[in-house]
Protein backbone atom coordinates (compact mmCIF):
# COMPACT_ATOMS: atom_id res chain seq x y z
CA UNK A 1 0.00 0.00 0.00
CA UNK A 2 1.39 3.39 -0.98
CA UNK A 3 0.81 6.00 1.70
CA UNK A 4 -0.48 9.49 1.07
CA UNK A 5 2.02 11.62 2.97
CA UNK A 6 0.58 14.96 1.84
CA UNK A 7 -0.75 15.34 5.38
CA UNK A 8 2.04 14.59 7.83
CA UNK A 9 3.67 15.93 11.00
CA UNK A 10 3.21 19.61 11.85
CA UNK A 11 1.00 20.22 8.81
CA UNK A 12 -1.28 17.38 9.89
CA UNK A 13 -1.57 18.89 13.38
CA UNK A 14 -2.26 22.39 12.01
CA UNK A 15 -5.01 21.32 9.65
CA UNK A 16 -6.57 18.93 12.18
CA UNK A 17 -6.72 21.71 14.80
CA UNK A 18 -8.03 24.35 12.38
CA UNK A 19 -10.85 22.11 11.13
CA UNK A 20 -11.61 20.13 14.32
CA UNK A 21 -10.52 17.02 12.47
CA UNK A 22 -12.67 17.53 9.36
CA UNK A 23 -9.33 17.62 7.56
CA UNK A 24 -6.99 15.08 9.12
CA UNK A 25 -9.11 12.78 11.30
CA UNK A 26 -8.95 10.17 8.57
CA UNK A 27 -5.39 9.61 7.35
CA UNK A 28 -4.90 6.98 4.67
CA UNK A 29 -8.34 5.65 5.58
CA UNK A 30 -7.73 5.23 9.32
CA UNK A 31 -8.72 7.42 12.29
CA UNK A 32 -6.18 9.66 13.97
CA UNK A 33 -6.00 11.78 17.07
CA UNK A 34 -3.67 14.53 18.20
CA UNK A 35 -1.73 13.61 21.33
CA UNK A 36 -0.15 16.45 23.31
CA UNK A 37 2.61 15.42 25.69
CA UNK A 38 4.96 17.52 27.80
CA UNK A 39 8.54 17.41 26.55
CA UNK A 40 10.60 15.55 29.13
CA UNK A 41 13.56 17.89 28.64
CA UNK A 42 12.00 21.11 27.36
CA UNK A 43 8.79 21.16 29.39
CA UNK A 44 7.05 22.39 26.21
CA UNK A 45 3.82 21.00 24.79
CA UNK A 46 4.51 18.52 21.95
CA UNK A 47 1.74 17.60 19.49
CA UNK A 48 1.81 14.32 17.61
CA UNK A 49 -0.77 12.96 15.16
CA UNK A 50 -1.25 9.23 15.76
CA UNK A 51 -3.35 6.45 14.32
CA UNK A 52 -5.88 5.54 16.98
CA UNK A 53 -8.51 3.07 18.01
CA UNK A 54 -11.04 3.00 20.80
CA UNK A 55 -11.83 0.48 23.49
CA UNK A 56 -15.12 1.91 24.69
CA UNK A 57 -14.27 5.48 25.64
CA UNK A 58 -10.54 4.76 26.05
CA UNK A 59 -8.27 5.87 23.22
CA UNK A 60 -5.59 3.44 22.09
CA UNK A 61 -2.33 4.30 20.32
CA UNK A 62 0.76 2.28 19.39
CA UNK A 63 4.33 3.51 19.96
CA UNK A 64 5.64 1.77 16.83
CA UNK A 65 7.69 4.45 15.09
CA UNK A 66 7.51 2.20 12.05
CA UNK A 67 9.43 -0.56 13.82
CA UNK A 68 12.44 1.64 14.60
CA UNK A 69 14.85 0.27 17.23
CA UNK A 70 14.01 3.04 19.74
CA UNK A 71 10.74 4.26 21.21
CA UNK A 72 9.29 7.47 19.73
CA UNK A 73 9.87 10.72 21.63
CA UNK A 74 6.16 11.15 22.37
CA UNK A 75 6.20 7.82 24.21
CA UNK A 76 9.29 8.74 26.25
CA UNK A 77 7.57 12.03 27.09
CA UNK A 78 4.46 10.32 28.46
CA UNK A 79 6.58 7.91 30.48
CA UNK A 80 8.06 10.98 32.19
CA UNK A 81 4.63 12.62 32.60
CA UNK A 82 1.56 10.51 31.81
CA UNK A 83 -0.80 13.50 31.92
CA UNK A 84 -1.64 14.23 28.30
CA UNK A 85 -4.13 16.17 26.19
CA UNK A 86 -6.08 14.41 23.44
CA UNK A 87 -8.04 15.74 20.49
CA UNK A 88 -10.39 13.43 18.58
CA UNK A 89 -12.16 15.48 15.92
CA UNK A 90 -13.61 18.45 17.87
CA UNK A 91 -13.45 16.65 21.24
CA UNK A 92 -10.50 17.87 23.32
CA UNK A 93 -9.85 16.42 26.74
CA UNK A 94 -7.25 15.67 29.39
CA UNK A 95 -6.23 12.06 29.84
CA UNK A 96 -3.79 9.81 31.63
CA UNK A 97 -1.62 7.60 29.41
CA UNK A 98 -0.97 4.05 30.57
CA UNK A 99 1.19 1.41 28.91
CA UNK A 100 -0.75 -1.84 28.90
CA UNK A 101 0.64 -5.35 29.16
CA UNK A 102 -0.40 -8.99 29.37
CA UNK A 103 -3.79 -10.04 27.99
CA UNK A 104 -4.95 -6.41 27.79
CA UNK A 105 -2.00 -5.57 25.54
CA UNK A 106 -2.69 -8.56 23.30
CA UNK A 107 -6.37 -7.64 22.98
CA UNK A 108 -5.65 -3.98 22.20
CA UNK A 109 -2.83 -4.93 19.81
CA UNK A 110 -5.31 -7.05 17.86
CA UNK A 111 -7.76 -4.13 17.82
CA UNK A 112 -5.11 -1.81 16.44
CA UNK A 113 -3.56 -4.24 13.95
CA UNK A 114 -7.04 -4.76 12.50
CA UNK A 115 -7.10 -0.99 11.92
CA UNK A 116 -3.50 -0.73 10.65
CA UNK A 117 -2.09 -4.17 9.67
CA UNK A 118 1.40 -2.72 9.24
CA UNK A 119 1.78 -2.78 13.04
CA UNK A 120 2.48 -6.51 12.79
CA UNK A 121 5.20 -5.81 10.21
CA UNK A 122 6.67 -3.09 12.42
CA UNK A 123 6.88 -5.50 15.37
CA UNK A 124 8.80 -7.98 13.18
CA UNK A 125 11.31 -5.24 12.26
CA UNK A 126 12.42 -4.52 15.81
CA UNK A 127 13.72 -6.35 18.86
CA UNK A 128 11.83 -4.07 21.24
CA UNK A 129 8.31 -4.85 22.35
CA UNK A 130 6.25 -2.07 20.79
CA UNK A 131 4.22 -0.38 23.53
CA UNK A 132 0.44 -0.20 23.44
CA UNK A 133 -0.90 2.87 25.23
CA UNK A 134 -4.36 3.44 26.69
CA UNK A 135 -5.47 7.07 26.94
CA UNK A 136 -7.95 7.27 29.80
CA UNK A 137 -10.09 10.41 29.90
CA UNK A 138 -9.97 12.40 33.13
CA UNK A 139 -13.55 13.19 34.18
CA UNK A 140 -14.35 16.88 34.45
pLDDT tens digits for 75-95? 999 999 999 999 999 999 999
Of 11-15, 55-59, 123-127, give the lowest mean pLDDT range: 11-15
Provide mean pLDDT across the span 120-124: 97
Report the relative pairing of strands 132-137 and 58-62 from DSSP bridges.
antiparallel
CA–CA separation, 20 and 102 (whole Å): 35
Identify the CA nearest to 61 among candidates 31, 40, 16: 31
pTM over 0.85: yes
Provide the pLDDT confidence category of residue 2 given band limits of 50, 70 and 90.
Answer: low
Per residue in 7-53, pLDDT (tens digit) is 678 999 999 999 999 999 999 899 999 999 999 999 999 999 999 99
- Average pLDDT across the chain, whole number: 95
Domain 9-137 annotated CATH 2.30.110.10? yes
The per-residue pLDDT for 4 is 60
Amino acid sequence: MELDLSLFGAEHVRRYRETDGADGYLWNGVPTLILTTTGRRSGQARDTPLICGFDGDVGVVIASQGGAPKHPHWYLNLLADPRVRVQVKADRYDAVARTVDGPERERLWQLMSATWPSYDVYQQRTDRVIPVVALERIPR
